[in-house]
């Protein structure tokens, strides 16, 4: 009996310490590093052409510590307890590796770890590439425990729901699980009654609460959430609404992390990674837009008058917090890339993404050494 106990103990000690980790990956569409690290742009906030609520923006988010007022969870929690990177004014460089600088190519890069130049539009075409969500859902320890939620109705194609078998609730889809909770039933009703300003993007509150309910009730091991309002309000030229959407999203992510930290199931074994699919311009003329020079000659030809594309649209950022995230980044002189997100996300789960996709970027230099 004693020998059996010792054998069981040794077997337990040999298991990976992080074998039970969980992952929440969040993207905020087109949110500029300028607002993330510096807060509101006063020239845009006071421009009546872009901000009908200038006084509110200045009152709520202006003055000193604008960034902390705008995104308190990012600056009070993520920046202090995790990794937070992409402030160009501090010499921090992180950029896209895809050649287009808009959404579908950006999300493909985030979720696969490598750029695919052939993905050169936002068309609803099933992604030929395997995302980390699809691959994780094929692993025995994650199968049936991977869920995705997005505001944009293209996400079922980006994740290739039909092939990957990952449940994707996006666009204006109602929750369609076999057994709906009372909250999901209410969200389904309200989503049909509360109009969105856009034909292809629902309001982020629905995406958030659908995802939060799944986090609470179904306890997935991998959860992907893609918020979208920031990009669409920016495209509409509504800087005030873009700012307010960024603030709401900060609070949504705070609620996710509070739920994690309040749960015995998730506390101390869950990693949260937050990033964006692209940047955007930095001037009065181009802050609404994003596209590379090559993109303006093709899919984004409506922006062809920007001869060099939208400068700054490839500048991105990331934040991460969790049991394996080091607050001291081990940086070299090279610029970090969005193509490193996928390998990082998989590595915190104790697996190696580059063995599956040899073209993927290396994991970001933010991980503490695994105690295997």
pLDDT value at 18 more than 60: no
Q: How far apart are CA 195 and CA 79, in angstroms?
A: 35
C-alpha distance from residue 241 to each of 18, 77, 238, 274 (Å): 40, 24, 5, 21
> What is residue 149's predicted lDDT score, i.e. its pLDDT?
99
CA nearest to 32, candidates 227, 337, 340, 288: 288
Beta bridge partners of 24: 223, 272
Q: pLDDT digit string (tens) for 50-68?
A: 999 999 999 999 999 999 9
Tokens 């992409």 belong to residue:
86
Residue 139: pLDDT over 60: yes
Confidence of residue 330 (pLDDT cuts 50, 70, 90): confident
Q: What is the pLDDT of residue 3?
A: 52
Whether the pLDDT of residue 341 is over 60: the answer is yes
pLDDT in tens, 192-233: 999 999 999 999 999 999 999 999 999 999 999 999 999 999
Spell out the domains of the chain, with CATH numbers in brackets: 18-355 (3.40.720.10)
What integer pLDDT is reported at residue 94 of this predicted model?
98
Total Cβ atoms within 10 A of residue 267: 11
Whole-angstrom distance, CA of residue 71 vs CA of residue 39: 8
**∠ CA(210), CA(216), CA(217), 5° rounding?**
85
Apex 278 CA angle, 275 and 280, nearest 5: 125
Least trusted range by pLDDT, from 1-10, 79-88, 235-244, 303-312 = 1-10
Tokens standing for residue 231: 């990009």
Strand partners, 84: 319
């Amino acid at each position: 009996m004693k020998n059996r106990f010792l054998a069981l103990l040794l077997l337990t000690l040999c298991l990976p310490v992080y074998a039970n980790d969980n992952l929440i990956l969040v993207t905020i569409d087109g949110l500029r590093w300028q607002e993330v690290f510096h807060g509101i742009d006063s020239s845009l906030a006071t421009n009546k052409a872009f901000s009908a609520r200038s006084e509110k923006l200045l009152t709520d988010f202006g003055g000193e510590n604008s960034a902390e007022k705008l995104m308190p969870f990012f600056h009070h929690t993520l920046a202090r307890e995790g990794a937070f990177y992409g402030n160009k004014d501090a010499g921090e460089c992180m950029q896209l590796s895809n050649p287009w600088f808009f959404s579908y190519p950006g999300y493909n890069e985030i979720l696969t770890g490598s750029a695919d130049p052939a993905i050169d539009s936002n068309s609803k075409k099933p992604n030929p590439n395997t995302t980390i969500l699809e691959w994780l859902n094929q692993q025995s320890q994650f199968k049936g425990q991977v869920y995705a939620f997005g505001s944009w109705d293209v996400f079922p194609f980006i994740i290739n729901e039909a092939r990957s078998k990952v449940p994707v609730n996006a666009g204006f889809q109602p929750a369609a699980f076999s057994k709906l909770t009372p909250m999901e039933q209410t969200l389904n009703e309200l989503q049909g009654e509360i109009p969105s300003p856009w034909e292809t993007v629902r309001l982020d509150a629905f995406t958030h609460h659908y995802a939060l309910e799944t986090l609470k009730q179904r306890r997935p091991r991998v959860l992907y959430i893609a918020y979208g309002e920031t990009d669409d309000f920016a495209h509409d030229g509504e800087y005030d609404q873009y700012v307010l959407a960024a603030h709401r999203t900060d609070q949504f992510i705070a609620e996710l992390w509070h739920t994690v930290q309040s749960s015995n199931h998730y506390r101390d074994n869950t990693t949260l990674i937050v990033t964006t699919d692209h940047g955007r311009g930095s001037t009065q003329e181009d802050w609404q837009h994003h596209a590379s020079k090559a993109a303006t000659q093709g899919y984004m030809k409506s922006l062809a008058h920007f001869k060099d594309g939208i400068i700054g649209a490839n500048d991105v950022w990331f934040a991460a917090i969790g049991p394996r995230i080091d607050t001291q980044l081990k940086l070299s002189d090279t610029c970090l890339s969005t193509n490193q997100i996928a390998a990082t996300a998989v590595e915190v789960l104790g697996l190696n993404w580059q063995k599956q996709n040899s073209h993927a970027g290396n994991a970001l230099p933010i991980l503490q050494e695994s105690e295997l």
